[in-house]
Amino acid sequence: MAVRRPLVLGPDNVPLITDEREAAQDVPLAAFSAMTHGRGPQSAAILESLAAALQTIDPDTAAVLAQFTESCLVDPQAQQIWRDLMTAINYFFRHEVAEKVREEGREEGREEGRLEDRAGMTLNILEWRGIEVPDSVRDRVRACTDLEQLELWAQRAVHATEAAQLFEEN
């Protein structure tokens, strides 16, 4: 009769690897270390050592390990650290995780661009109409992150006789 014992990997039997040289000696073990200890106080050091170690192996294997690590990280802070580390590594950009990060960045950039355009338009309308725009008004308009509010202020700018009227309720 054969006895079978399952091998269970967990924090008690997977080493915590925070040294880049140690991680480079056994990159798959470093990946398991990151997955196992990724939500602890040393998660940043573990992920940084793994990211450095991934650059020492072939790009295809590194990409698989990078993606596997990404899918196993449950802590949002560790996930963000990992994404930030991976955006700097070229092979990462060929994979779906990288595409997701890039798309998030593009959408964030589009939203930021819309806000800047709307704020600029509001201030330009006032200036084109010869209305003096104090720094306090300019700063408040540029700091706004609500597109609907900026749209309302742009509409008010068309009829305002002074810049402060943007903020008055009708």
Is the Cα dihedral 70, 71, 77, 78 positive or negative? negative
* Interval 36-70: pLDDT, tens: 888 878 889 999 999 999 989 988 788 888 888 88
Bigger pLDDT: 127 vs 94: 127
Mean confidence (pLDDT) of the chain: 84
The whole-model pTM stands at 0.52
The confidence band for 144, taking pLDDT boundaries of 50, 70 and 90, is very high
Decide: 30 and 53 in contact? Cβ < 8 Å: yes
Which token pair is 135? 């720094």
Considering only CA atoms, which of 170, 119, 121 is closest in space to residue 147?
119
The confidence band for 90, taking pLDDT boundaries of 50, 70 and 90, is low
Residue 155 pLDDT: 87
Q: Tell whether the model's pLDDT for residue 94 goes beyond 90.
A: no
CA 104 distance to own-chain centroid = 8
DSSP H helices, the chain, are 20-25, 27-37, 43-54, 59-72, 76-86, 96-128, 135-143, 147-159
Q: Tell whether the model's pLDDT for residue 30 goes beyond 90.
A: yes
Residue 40 pLDDT: 77
Residue 99 pLDDT: 64
Considering only CA atoms, which of 143, 141, 138, 162 is closest in space to residue 152?
141
Which token pair is 108? 């964030």
* Interval 100-115: pLDDT, tens: 666 666 777 777 778 8
